[in-house]
Structure 1
């Protein structure tokens, strides 16, 4: 079993995720490269300075634009949105292998329908599917069958509930989006038969081996402790997960390793150590999405990076330590700060509301210059300019101006 220094583990993880930008990935081809490697990114509709999926990609890819992700999802259909750890975006090639996940998720969906008095939606499934088969791409406004009078939650039309249900089972996929409005079509019309195949011949053991190894690849290195890295159907079951991890280690499909100063065992994909001896190309700064892959397990994040983070979007204002939507700042493999941005539209400037340095960080001129460069890079991603007052906020350390 290999034991890595903590700084080496961090270096390999950052290199694997291309957060250091060493690979110089750009544009839509860069998205393809990253998604083929990490397999899945978390989707969240909240948009303060970009949605989470876009923030994940812009941190790894130069000249990234949200249109690139949109095209791969709804034009090329090489990516697809569906349940993984939560609602995620993943490679369409994996759609068939997610059959067991969709089946498990459907059970929880039915429980929700019962709670919301929407079980009548199941009685019109065939009618709704026939409507989509005849009319093609269908949004909730295009079809109106049944009404849920008793429910205060979710859709008011049973046909809208049925569309969502068929989407969760995998019988429908999102063909396109107009704003936030989804338009569904039959899955077999959108993706190839090979990808749509339910993989009925895949045993539970084969599925678990694939799914556990795939989840490790989403991050690069994990431990066997309950947390965000193992969130989702099957993976959150401790005994099942442990048995699968042991099998993968015995077969040489994943590496068992240690990180100096941490007692727990770690599991890494073999490709991780390829970046151990890479030379960093220069200083870099990246703004990390609150739901970035490396942030999924925040206890693990704190153990490895020494960085404590809590997403306070759903925390009452009086209980927040920092702010509503706070973005971590990474400089040369270290979290050095975090900031709260003002909500933005393309007609406004990218403006920082609050900036907090991490304890014991005294920013050098090189660090500040790197951060200022990233401010401009981030503003370019947003399609706007960086506010001139940002620099004044950033160089304010403990009330003093450097």
Structure 2
């Protein structure tokens, strides 16, 4: 088919709308996960963990952190997998992908060398689960390397992470930041009849495009493959894929708003798309030496309508119980209305955190 032709403004509007960042706000965290496809989990809590700030950025005052726990642990409308929360509607497709997921040669060799350890972990969860990793004995015969530094000498968390990716165990809840594990068949029920791996992959590509709205064709950053329909964007040489449902409402414009985004927000993941569509280059300076930082350790991008206009360098001071604003960086000159809207959003953020603002002029 002939590609759809989009202006840059239309392209940005499609992306912003797909990410639920326009004036119309979603009603709850399940609606957010259904549209975005996934909510990233990360313990870095300069303001709040990403799995809490991502829903708040969309929902606003109607969101409370306990809603996420309820949706995951009580209502089972969301589930945790590999560092993100997903809507239950994609679980059958993802279970197909888990069964067919290839492992790196080193990981496969480590599992083979620790076959008895693997069986021990599964048996312990069958008998006593759900359990924390600390409740499961480490009976590994061969330790794995730890070049990344993510793991301790205890091999149980590594085994659980690998078995989760293969669909044999599942996270069923948390105690603080610690995950509670169980065998997958008890946590998620029997394996459903469903599509084959290729069909499941194509359907998951469509769900990812739903959350992206518009993405580069076959980009490793977006993972949408050939889902949707072809599109061209004015001034861009890329071959794009667009969600046809996004095109249907392209002329319905409820208006924009200010949104303060977690550095781990899915809106920011596709860095090349940020540059191509929004002319915005974002670098998280969390791992940059302090003397070389430009915008701050964990600066939050500020979206105004369909433009990135600044970055917020702020942190929650738990001891003094306030939100400390170190800087609000303007990437472009702001109009007075934009400044007022950003200030209001920062005060709303502080109110959601339950603290006053300090340092905002």
Q: What interval of TM-score do these two structures reach, taking the shorter chain for normalisation?
A: 0.7 to 0.9
* Secondary structure in structure 2 of the residue aligned to 1:25: coil
Does residue 369 (structure 1) correspond to residue 340 (structure 2)? The answer is yes
Contact 2:33/2:85, CA 8 A, preserved across alignment: no
Pairing partner for 1:54 from 36, 48, 52: 52
Report the Cα offset of residue 177 of structure 1: 0.6
TM-score (norm 1): 0.79
* Secondary structure in structure 1 of the residue aligned to 2:238: strand
Pairing partner for 2:31 from 21, 30, 33: 33
Report the Cα offset of residue 268 of structure 1: 1.1
Report the Cα offset of residue 327 of structure 1: 0.6
TM-score (norm 2): 0.88
The aligned runs of 1:182-331 (5 Å cut-off) are 182-193=179-190, 196-197=191-192, 199=193, 202-224=195-217, 226-230=219-223, 241=225, 245=226, 248=227, 254-281=228-255, 284-331=257-304
* Secondary structure in structure 2 of the residue aligned to 1:302: helix
Contact 1:346/1:383, CA 8 A, preserved across alignment: no
CA distance in 2, matches of 1:97, 1:150: 33
Write out per-residue CA displacement over residues 136-166 of structure 1, whole angstroms, 9 at most, x where no aligned residue: 2111222224267966732434444433333
Report the Cα offset of residue 364 of structure 1: 2.2
Gaps of 5+ in 2: none
* Secondary structure in structure 2 of the residue aligned to 1:329: strand
* Secondary structure in structure 2 of the residue aligned to 1:175: strand
* CA RMSD across the alignment: 2.6
For 1:382, the equivalent position in structure 2 comes to 353
Write out per-residue CA displacement over residues 197-228 of structure 1, whole angstroms, 9 at most, x where no aligned residue: 2x5x6334312321221221121110125442
Report the Cα offset of residue 71 of structure 1: 1.8
CA distance in 2, matches of 1:328, 1:290: 7
Cα distance, 1:176–1:98 mapped onto 2, change above 3 Å: same
Report the Cα offset of residue 118 of structure 1: 7.8
- When the two structures are aligned, how many residues end up with a matched partner? 354
Does residue 169 (structure 1) correspond to residue 170 (structure 2)? The answer is no
CA distance in 2, matches of 1:375, 1:97: 39
CA distance in 1, matches of 2:96, 2:215: 23
Report the Cα offset of residue 267 of structure 1: 0.7
Write out per-residue CA displacement over residues 78-122 of structure 1, whole angstroms, 9 at most, x where no aligned residue: 211224xxx3221123223223543465613x72475xx786543
Contact 2:79/2:172, CA 8 A, preserved across alignment: no
Cα distance, 1:329–1:122 mapped onto 2, change above 3 Å: same
